[in-house]
């Protein structure tokens, strides 16, 4: 299928966007549109050769800088794009000479941006130039560029200059201080550091030329290392220039320049790298694609929006999240808003749950920032930042500065008053958990978020004794046109909902992970009194709901505000706030974006209060006409679209959908230059799946109740739900035709969970695709991860190593033995080194059980003995030093880190942290799974699975190094690659068996693992 749908200078094909004309007026909006990325970084669509008004930008996740004058922001990273071509002395630029042919293409099926043009130079030479670039999804540290040059009418002298530009800037501000730069055998490198946060970046680049004789030269202009070459391009012969770039930051590795250089030195050619990238994208799209027939513009644009979300989603990092403008622009300084949890997250929850988990984990890792914010404002618990960056502290700018000398600074109140996001985050955590059943994550991460944010609420609400009710005064709801309101219904109901769920989570935790629950309750000071207080708030918080009509008042006194007819202001090109002014907008019943309707939308999945048919209808009728849906918030249209679908208003639904869909491609709000509207893109997915697809979740799985737009003939997608994949292939044309009719139809109204799921799901075509969940013991130990069998047809893609501690990195086994020996001696139980051998990799309790055998000890005695042995052991390991590292361990760790591989520890020991500290390894490991991490010990795979979660990796991307049979068994059960250290008798089941780590290198191991994979 190759349907073309022209729109202005864009052609939309299945997977390909083609720009047919270069318009310098659109330089910056198109710079956003042509953003590429790989979940590690995003690079805007700037021109390789530069442009007078160009703003080249590459943003790397987590690379924030906090220079006071500009507030914390994502630092624009050194630019990897510069390639300057000079033809017979004329420098190629779009604004000089003459562009005879032009085409720019973005292929979202593989994230490849290309530009082809025929150019006549000022002095009359005609050449064809073809540029390509991609950020590899197969290896996030690799960036590829290709330039092909063909002289068209006679030989040309060509000079090409490929650089890394260290002078990247954020609207004039350069966050980077140069550390060093230089030449290598294969090219150039640059090392810089952010001024405030001191994050270091290392980049390396090389260039190859084929098709002509060319000698490379390297120059060391400060901050702008450059490789150049001159050659003769013979007429009609194509010369290919390839530029490969590698990039690491100190967030991932210690020696980022070395890592970049070494990776660069090992790279295969451009074509091979591009193929690997294509394969990685194939895998992603297999899960996340939406296929639409009958509406080619929408078909491409939906994929385009999903592509922009996918390239912004961190696959290897759970300490970052997706900014409001993704990684595609300077807007909002790379800050993270509720946009991510409420608008963007569902796409990932249901198609890429591992990415969803990373995004939510960010809120766990930044919870201390939320706690600092709460403390600052005089509250308790976790008060999440309205705008969040690396630490979770509040980074919303305080002031919008005036443009002229005497203008007034305008205070930005969101940091103080727009507080609903703490409940929104809790909402997202709950949705993720419901959809995935990821109890481990919920126990470790999610519960703490929900509970500590609930504690914030109980300190934030005010008890009004006159009315015997709880109030939340002085807030901004989701509708930001009203900047200081009391008892915003959205906020109050979300708080109530949040507290309801907090009580459930607390209960669930106590039953499922009693030890963890106890620890958390102590840490957060959760008491029965507090839970009773939550109950009381739930009961008495004021909600303005008229049960006779279902109408909800947006906040206390909203209905008393002056009314307004938005149609009186049409046609308009500006927001109602811009037209009326902040104060006047405040005094009118005009909304920037859905507020009551947003609440209804969020309560829709489980049809919770106040969501019902009557409320939806009456509130839609009241609020939709009063909402500035065109120039208010870009968060509005998709949500209105879905609710319109629910109400059977098919034409409105499609109109709102298209409005959200084209916001960046058609720059309909005029601010695409600031970056992709991430929330709108996320809303698009929800509009297709929940709106047009009518997806509802029942206990039996997702069901569809589709009402496709009239022109859609088919809609195909897949969803991941509680460990299984469900594919939907929905035919179109089932709805009536004319607009009038649609607007009156009630047929689309979804059933909700309360009514029988089967009733209206006549079009359900879902079938499970995936293997069922791996059963390993009790229900509480369910692991949501899809357990695909290890691949054996290609080399494993190793991104993490998980080391057992005892017997692998160090010989604490010896100290354990000494501890057990002393205990056994005191108790008069026979025990020796040989007996000790059987305890390798076995938990403390199990070890003791084996030692005491069938001797009659009470549980209290057992507890005491475990503690006693541990005391002896602790005393012994006080004396551990880095000298206790086993031979080869440190060398291998360093080599792995330099190769960008993450390091985890998977040890049954409850003292793993102490031991790691004393061994001097604390800075070298990314994650520690220890005796507190999981309940079921090796040979269950839980401990290692836990470690892969912490590393943000899939089991098949990890290698476990073990010296114990139980450990090898656990790793294999978890689906990891396994290296056994010791005799075949003990660890022979591992993929690779070695006597010890002495002399072992990553290169060796990779070869051996590749061999094992081919078996």
**Which residues are tagged catalytic?**
480
DSSP assignment of 89-141 equals: TEEP-TTSSEEEEEEEEEETTTTEEEEEEEEE-TTS-EEEEEEEEEE-SSSTT
Determine how β-strand 10-12 pairs with β-strand 16-19.
Answer: antiparallel
Residue 124: both structure tokens together: 């009359």
Contact 638, 657 (CB under 8 A): yes
957 three-class SS: helix
35 three-class SS: coil
Say which residue the tokens 């792995």 belong to: 896
Contact 981, 997 (CB under 8 A): yes
The CA distance from 427 to 658, in Å, is 27
Q: Which residues pair with 249 in a beta bridge?
A: 201
What is the number of alpha carbons within 13 Å of residue 421 lying toward its C-beta?
25
- The CA-atom distances, in angstroms, between 72 and each of 66, 251, 361, 563 are 4, 17, 21, 40
Of the candidates 142, 148, 79, the one whose C-alpha atom is nearest the C-alpha of residue 280 is 142
Q: Which residues pair with 927 in a beta bridge?
A: 904
The CA distance from 456 to 165, in Å, is 45
Residues binding a second copy (CB under 8 A): 50, 52-53, 67-70, 82, 84, 86, 91, 161, 163, 165, 167, 169, 171-175, 177-180, 195, 219-224, 226, 228, 372-373, 376, 391, 393-395, 398-399, 401-403, 405-406, 409
Of the candidates 13, 84, 621, the one whose C-alpha atom is nearest the C-alpha of residue 303 is 13
Q: Dihedral, CA atoms, 487, 493, 498, 499, nearest 10 degrees?
A: 70
The angle at the Cα of 248, spanning 245 to 251, to the nearest 5 degrees, equals 160
Contact 890, 866 (CB under 8 A): no
- The CA-atom distances, in angstroms, between 655 and each of 257, 617, 687 are 50, 19, 12
Nearer to a second copy, 407 or 999 (CB): 407
Contact 133, 244 (CB under 8 A): no
Contact 703, 750 (CB under 8 A): no
Cβ of 409: how many Cβ atoms within 10 Å?
Answer: 10
122 burial type by CB count under 10 A (0-12 exposed, 13-18 middle, 19+ buried): middle
- The CA-atom distances, in angstroms, between 219 and each of 80, 161, 187, 193, 873 are 16, 10, 10, 21, 58
The CA distance from 841 to 823, in Å, is 19
The CA distance from 245 to 60, in Å, is 14
Contact 745, 911 (CB under 8 A): no
What is the number of alpha carbons within 13 Å of residue 330 lying toward its C-beta?
18
Say which residue the tokens 């509250």 belong to: 379
Secondary structure letter of residue 633 according to DSSP: -
Contact 207, 243 (CB under 8 A): yes
Quote the distance between the C-alpha of residue 777 and its chain's center: 31
Q: Which residues pair with 148 in a beta bridge?
A: 130, 240
Of the candidates 29, 273, 28, 50, the one whose C-alpha atom is nearest the C-alpha of residue 140 is 273
Residue 689: both structure tokens together: 């799946």
Give me the least distance between CB of 399 and a second copy, in Å please.
8
Cβ of 538: how many Cβ atoms within 10 Å?
Answer: 17
Give me the least distance between CB of 675 and a second copy, in Å please.
18
Contact 680, 634 (CB under 8 A): yes
Determine how β-strand 800-803 pairs with β-strand 902-906.
Answer: parallel
The CA distance from 919 to 895, in Å, is 18
Secondary structure letter of residue 443 according to DSSP: I
R_g over Cα of the chain: 30
């Amino acid at each position: 299928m190759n349907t073309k749908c022209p729109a202005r200078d864009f052609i939309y094909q299945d997977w390909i966007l083609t720009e047919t004309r270069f318009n310098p007026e659109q330089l910056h909006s198109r710079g956003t549109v042509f953003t590429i990325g790989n979940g590690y970084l995003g690079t805007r669509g700037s021109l390789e050769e530069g442009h007078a008004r160009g703003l080249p930008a590459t943003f790397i996740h987590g690379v924030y800088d906090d220079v006071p004058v500009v507030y914390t922001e994502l630092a624009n990273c050194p630019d990897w794009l510069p390639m300057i071509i000079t033809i017979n002395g004329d420098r190629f630029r779009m604004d000089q000479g003459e562009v005879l042919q032009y085409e720019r293409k973005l292929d979202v099926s593989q994230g490849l941006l290309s530009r082809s043009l025929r150019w006549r130079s000022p002095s009359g030479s005609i050449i064809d130039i073809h540029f390509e670039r991609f950020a590899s999804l197969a290896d996030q540290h690799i960036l590829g560029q290709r330039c092909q040059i063909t002289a068209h009418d006679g030989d040309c002298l060509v000079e090409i200059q490929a650089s890394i530009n260290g002078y990247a800037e954020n609207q004039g501000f350069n966050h980077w201080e140069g550390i060093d730069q230089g030449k290598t055998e294969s090219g150039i490198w640059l090392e810089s550091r952010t001024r405030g946060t001191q994050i270091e970046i290392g980049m390396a680049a090389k260039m190859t030329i084929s098709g002509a004789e060319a000698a490379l030269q390297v120059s060391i202009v400060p901050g702008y290392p450059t490789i150049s070459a001159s050659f003769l391009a013979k007429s009609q012969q194509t010369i290919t220039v390839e530029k490969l770039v590698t990039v690491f930051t100190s967030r991932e590795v210690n020696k980022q320049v070395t890592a970049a250089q070494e990776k660069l030195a090992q790279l295969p050619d451009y074509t091979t790298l591009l193929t690997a990238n294509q394969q990685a994208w194939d895998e992603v799209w297999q899960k996340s694609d939406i296929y639409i027939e009958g509406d080619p513009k929408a078909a491409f644009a939906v994929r385009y929006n999903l592509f922009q979300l996918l390239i912004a989603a961190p696959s290897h990092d759970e300490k970052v999240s997706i900014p409001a403008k993704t990684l595609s622009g300077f807007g909002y300084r790379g800050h993270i808003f509720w946009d991510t949890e409420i608008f963007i997250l569902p796409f990932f929850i249901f198609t890429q749950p591992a990415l969803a988990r990373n995004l939510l984990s960010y809120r766990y890792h930044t919870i201390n920032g939320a706690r600092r914010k709460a403390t600052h404002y005089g509250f308790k618990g976790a008060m999440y930042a309205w705008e969040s960056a690396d630490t979770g502290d509040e980074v919303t700018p305080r002031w919008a500065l005036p443009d002229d000398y005497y203008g007034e600074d305008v205070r930005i109140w969101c940091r103080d008053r727009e507080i609903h996001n703490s409940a929104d985050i809790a909402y997202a955590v709950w949705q993720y958990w419901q959809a995935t059943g990821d109890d481990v994550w919920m126990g470790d991460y999610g519960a703490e978020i929900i509970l500590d944010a609930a504690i914030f609420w109980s300190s934030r609400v005010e008890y009004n004794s006159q009315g015997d009710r709880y109030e939340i005064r002085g807030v901004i709801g989701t509708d930001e046109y009203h900047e200081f309101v009391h008892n915003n219904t959205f906020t109050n109901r979300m708080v109530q909902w949040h507290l309801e769920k907090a009580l459930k989570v607390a209960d669930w935790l106590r039953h499922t992970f009693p030890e963890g629950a106890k620890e958390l309750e102590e840490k957060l000071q959760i008491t029965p009194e507090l839970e009773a207080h939550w109950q009381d708030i739930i009961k008495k918080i004021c909600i303005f709901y008229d049960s006779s009509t279902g109408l909800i008042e947006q906040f206390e006194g909203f209905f008393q505000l002056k009314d307004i007819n938005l149609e009186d202001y049409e046609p308009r090109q500006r927001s109602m706030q811009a037209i009326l002014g902040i104060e006047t907008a405040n005094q009118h019943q005009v909304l920037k974006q859905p507020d009551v309707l947003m609440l209804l939308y969020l309560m829709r999945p489980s049809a919770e209060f106040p969501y019902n048919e009557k409320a939806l209808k009456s509130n839609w009728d009241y609020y939709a006409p009063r909402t500035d849906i065109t120039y208010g918030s870009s968060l509005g249209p998709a949500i209105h679209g879905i609710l319109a679908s629910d109400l059977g208003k098919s034409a409105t639904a499609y109109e709102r959908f298209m409005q959200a869909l084209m916001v960046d491609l058609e720059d309909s709000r005029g601010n695409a230059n600031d970056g992709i509207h991430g929330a709108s893109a996320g809303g698009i997915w929800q509009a297709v799946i929940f709106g047009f697809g009518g997806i509802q979740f029942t206990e039996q799985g997702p069901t569809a109740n589709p009402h496709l737009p009239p022109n859609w003939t088919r809609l195909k997608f897949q969803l991941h739900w509680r460990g299984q994949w469900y594919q939907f292939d929905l035919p179109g044309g089932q709805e009536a035709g004319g607009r009038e009719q649609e607007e009156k139809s009630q047929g689309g109204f979804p059933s909700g969970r309360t009514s029988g799921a089967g009733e209206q799901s006549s079009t359900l075509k879902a079938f499970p695709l995936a293997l069922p969940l791996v059963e390993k013991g009790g229900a509480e130990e369910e692991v949501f991860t899809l357990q695909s069998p290890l691949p054996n047809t290609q080399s494993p893609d190793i991104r993490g190593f998980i080391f057992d501690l005892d017997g692998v990195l160090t010989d604490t086994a010896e100290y354990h033995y000494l501890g057990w020996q002393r205990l056994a001696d005191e108790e008069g139980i026979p025990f020796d080194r040989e007996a000790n051998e059987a305890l390798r990799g076995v938990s403390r309790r199990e070890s003791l059980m084996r030692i005491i055998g069938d001797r009659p000890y009470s549980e209290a005695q057992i507890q005491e003995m475990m503690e006693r042995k541990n005391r002896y052991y602790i005393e012994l390991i006080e004396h551990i030093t880095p000298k206790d590292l086993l031979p080869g361990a440190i060398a291998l760790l360093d080599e792995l880190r330099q190769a960008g591989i993450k390091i985890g520890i998977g040890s049954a020991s409850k003292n793993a942290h102490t031991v790691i500290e004393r061994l001097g390894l604390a800075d070298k490991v990314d994650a520690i799974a220890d005796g507190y991490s999981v309940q079921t010990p090796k040979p269950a795979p839980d401990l290692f699975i836990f470690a892969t979660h912490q590393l943000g990796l899939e089991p098949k991307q990890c290698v476990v190094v073990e010296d114990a049979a139980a450990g090898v068994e656990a790793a294999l059960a978890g689906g990891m690659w396994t290296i056994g250290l010791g005799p075949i008798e003990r660890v022979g089941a591992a993929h690779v068996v070695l006597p010890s780590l002495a002399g072992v290198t990553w290169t060796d191991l990779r070869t051996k693992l590749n061999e094992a994979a081919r078996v």
